[in-house]
Structure 1
Amino acid sequence: MYKAIKDLEPGKFRKLCAIQVAGSLEARLLSTGAIQFYWRSKLNGKQVRVPIGLFDDRAPPKSLKPTVLGYSIPAAIRKAEEIAHAHLENKDAGGYPALLDEKKERERGQYQAKVEAKEWTVKKLCLAYSDYLEKLGRISHREARNVLTRHVIDAWPDLAALPATSLTPDDVVNIIRKVHEAGKGRTANKVRSYIRAAFQVAKDARLDASIPVAFKNYKINFNPASDTKPDKKSNQADKRPLHKADLITYWQTIKDVPGLRGAVIRLHLLTGGQRIQQLVALLTADITKEHITLYDGKGRPGGEVRQHIVPLIPAARKALDEAGPMGLYALSTENGRTHISNATLSGWAQAAVADVLPTFQPKQIRSGVETLLASLGVSKEIRGRLQSHGITGVQAKHYDAYDYLPEKRSALLKLYNVLEQKGADVIHFNAA
């Protein structure tokens, strides 16, 4: 057979030997000077010829395994026998050529899957989730985008470039740990929460028609953040609400602060310490003589943004008028084109009372108001209705359409009377 190989004519096939299982081994001299082995047989009367590999004239003459360069003649015979067996076993389905086609389709599918995986990355899912929150009207969309961009996309570019399906719980923990070790426990919990939410939306897209179909492209069947643990200490609520005396001090200090800043921080307190993010987004069109309408976007993704109606007592109405609502947004430094940020409102409040309440934080107003109202006998339900929290249960969510405006107004008047020390014990404080 070695002599037959040496005597090959360029471009012509030569039978070297019969293959016992089926067909024969052939060789052909290519235009490059290399020699190619083939297995040849018939299927349904038609000739079938399958390439095996190149002849390696340096391979051991009796070797049965191919080298990196090609095959010895015995190795080519062994390979031809393997092809013949596979051909016969698959003869009814199209023989060995059909197996080759199936393999190509499988490889093509795997290649396509790899291409898709590279496109549907962790980074793209993080940004898509932020966009999704924005379309739902969630006020958290800005925070989600900032947190995920800063602590995932920018901090871990290699992980962010991975297919979303390949992110592991260990990866998520590493992301969270880096933030936690920087002394930002609360932020670390937010990072975990937003990663978990983004992957859950993609996972739920398979069975939830309300979620955009594009999320199905991430092919998420497992949420890598689900089994990770939050830092419970960092998630604890603020245990330092403003006491009655401090609330009065706060009010008496800000009641005469001039301009927009004074009007805005007074409105915040006199409406019951509403969530700052919701209050600053107040639309001019959502103001009436008697109340304002805010939009509570907290809750699970996919849920509706809930209208939250807050009555205006006379002092709050006055503060709102002093803010000069115009244009789209009521609380604005740009004639309503954009609204002031929650950081701006918080900064104004802190600056106004820095001398009398040096440790004051604006978030203490909300808890302080609720604590004070509780001491004045305002029920837990009315406090929850006023501050838009604690509204749970099927009856409360779906069947109770009453707006509770009289009860909310009564609670706010009680708050105002205490702040003005009307009918309450007069509390003296040192403003120095």
Structure 2
Amino acid sequence: MSNLTDLEVKNLSEDSYKTESLGRGRGAFMIRKRGKSYQAFYRYWRGKQKAMVPIGSYSPPRTKASGLSLKEIREKATELATLRQQISPQDLKEYLEQQEADRQQQAEEKRRQAEIESSYGTLEDLCTSYLSDMEIKGLKSVKTVRNALNLYCLEAFPKLAKAKARDITPDDIVAIIRKMMEQGITTTCNRVRSYLMTAFNYGMKADHNPRQLTEHGKRFNIDFNPVMAVPKQADYERVRDRRLSDDEIYDMWINVHQGKSSWSPVYGLFVRFCLACFGNRPEQLNDVKWSDIDFRMKTLRFTDFKGKHGTPKKRIIPLTPTALDILEQVKSVSGDYSWPFSTSGKTPIRTDNVANFLRAYNDWRSKQLKEKNREVPDTWTQKDLRTTATGLLTRLRIPKEQRYLLQSREDGSVESKHYDHDDRLEEKWDAAMIYDDCLQKIISGKASDTLVDLEHYRQIKGH
């Protein structure tokens, strides 16, 4: 049989067809006309039954219809005939149907894997989820951590921010820290490393946290923490030990408003309150509400989020006469507010504003000393009040256990890790009154180097 021509196919009548043999035992291809379209098939026999495998649409020459030319149909039919011989005795149509089923299954698996992959969170998603968890826990450091991660990681490395968290490598962490070092940043390098370390540790557990999946809908599938392989720079850790002298405490108490005289007196009173409350952390005292103060029992309660895992711990400290006097003064400003140390009544003052307030005082103090040709000491911050208070407590020979109770430090006991009930309040009062007596002498200009022995004080108190 001669080869089909385009003219023969074109002249087909409605629902008729033409065939072309591919050789003995190799089957044939046929083209059938249906309406205005032409469909091509590969035809072969399996036993006494005819089998048809679709090839595609035929497109006559010089037409705009999409489809295959007669030559292309012939080539495809020849390929099918050859394949039929290669897979024999398996049936061609069954083989092709199985191939199509396998292809669809593979496509579905690929789609499913792509869907799973798209559900994996990026480094940016990980940081966002971690920061959200910090906010839920009420951690005060969330703002600092957010600013650092945004500045040094997400904004500095936008491509890395969009990479899957599970694909982040130690080399990526090194790149982040290295860039900071090249910019002359030292201590903050270790801080950012610590934030990333904690974020990845959080991400490794987050996949099994129903709340995280509900609120963020992202999985991270992190197999290992890439930050672990990047060492901390020990020489970048500067241990600050700035303690105010008695003269500096006296001057601060009298002149702390000189730097920002236009600011609310609440700021100066807050600085004094931090020292009067044994150097407890500003961010904790700042959040205290009037409802946390028991004026009858002369105590103050607050929640300490500092420490491993940020587990909240109840704390209670005595309010000495000095601390109570400060609260009486601040009542005239914020007595109708929820917080003693508030200027708006809507929120407590911000500790970064306190930092600015003290910076202005330090500048004023330095200027005064320079004008008098006196030595200018290093500036100090609100955090140095804690070190100063510790120095005073140590100087007064108050035992470590009582110091820890007053300053809300953990002493390693189970009790201190979770609670700080008033059943130890008497111990605190003994140490608190010695401390307050010393502080009163300093701020009145009557400081003495005489040391006070706590046991001796208790014996005097008992008489």
| 1:64 alignment partner in structure 2 | none
**1:155 aligned residue:** 156
Unpaired stretches in structure 1, ≥5 consecutive residues? 55-68, 427-432
Q: Which residue number in structure 1 is paired with residue 126 of structure 2?
A: 125
Q: Indicate conservation of the 8 Å contact 1:381/1:390, yes or no.
A: no
**250 and 97 in structure 1: CA distance in 2 versus 1, 3 angstrom threshold:** same
| Contact preservation (8 Å) 1:16, 1:25 | yes
Gaps of 5+ in 2: 59-71, 258-264, 370-375, 451-463
CA distance in 1: counterparts of 2:222 and 2:174, whole angstroms: 18
Quote the residue 1:394 is aligned against.
Answer: 414
Aligned residue pairs, count: 402
What pairs with 1:13-412 in structure 2 (closer than 5 Å)?
49=53, 76-77=79-80, 80=83, 95-117=98-120, 120-207=121-208, 213=214, 214=216, 217-238=219-240, 240-242=241-243, 246-257=244-255, 259-289=265-295, 290-301=298-309, 304-324=311-331, 325=334, 326-334=336-344, 336-353=345-362, 354-355=365-366, 358-362=377-381, 363-394=383-414, 396-397=416-417, 401=421, 404-412=424-432
Give 1:418's aligned amino acid: C
Deviates more, 1:209-218 or 1:181-190: 209-218
Matched-pair contact (CA < 8 Å) for 2:390–2:403: yes
**Equivalent-residue separation in structure 2 for 1:127 and 1:195 (angstroms):** 12
Q: CA deviation at 1:284?
A: 2.8
Q: What are the superposed Cα offsets for residues 36-86 of structure 1, whole Å, 9 maximum, x if unpaired?
A: 8979899xx9978477999xxxxxxxxxxxxxx99966993599469958x
Partner of 1:417: 437
Taking only the aligned residue pairs, the percentage that are identical comes to 25
| Secondary structure of the corresponding residue to residue 317 of structure 2 | strand
Partner residue, 1:429: none
- Asked whether the equivalents of residues 41 and 56 of structure 2 are also in contact (C-alpha less than 8 Å), the reply is yes
Mapped partners of 2:399, 2:45: distance in 1 = 90
Letter in 2 for 1:297: F
CA drift of 1:102 comes to: 0.8
More helix by share: 2
Once the 2 structures are TM-superposed, how far is the Cα of residue 315 of structure 1 from its aligned partner?
0.5
Amino acid at match of 2:360: A
Output one character per residue of 1:254-306: Cα deviation in whole Å (capped at 9) or x when no partner.
223462232111101111112222222222322221122222222444x5322
Does the Cα contact within 8 Å between 1:16 and 1:24 map onto a contact in 2? yes
Q: Distance in 1 between matches of 2:227 and 2:109?
A: 32
Which is further off, 364-373 or 170-179?
364-373
Match of 2:68 in 1: none
**For residue 250 of structure 2, what is the amino acid of its counterpart?**
Q
**Cα deviation, residue 164, structure 1:** 2.2
Q: Superposition RMSD on alpha carbons, in Å?
A: 4.5
Q: Which moved more, 1:207-216 or 1:372-381?
A: 207-216
Most deviating of 73-82 and 372-381: 73-82
Deviations 1:227-258 (A, max 9, x none): 222222223432x241xxx3312321122346
Contact 1:39–1:51 (CA<8 Å) still a contact in 2? no
Provide TM-score, normalisation by structure 1.
0.76
**8 Å Cα contact 1:5/1:27 also seen in 2:** no
The alignment partner of 2:284 has SS state of: helix
Counterpart of 1:328, as a letter, is S
Q: Distance in 2 between matches of 1:206 and 1:99?
A: 32
Q: Using a 3 Å threshold, how does the CA distance of structure 1 residues 271 and 50 change in structure 2: closer, same or farther? A: farther
SS of residue in 1 equivalent to 2:341: coil
CA deviation string 1:344-403 (max 9, x = no partner): 223333433533664132222212322331232222222222222234343543587555
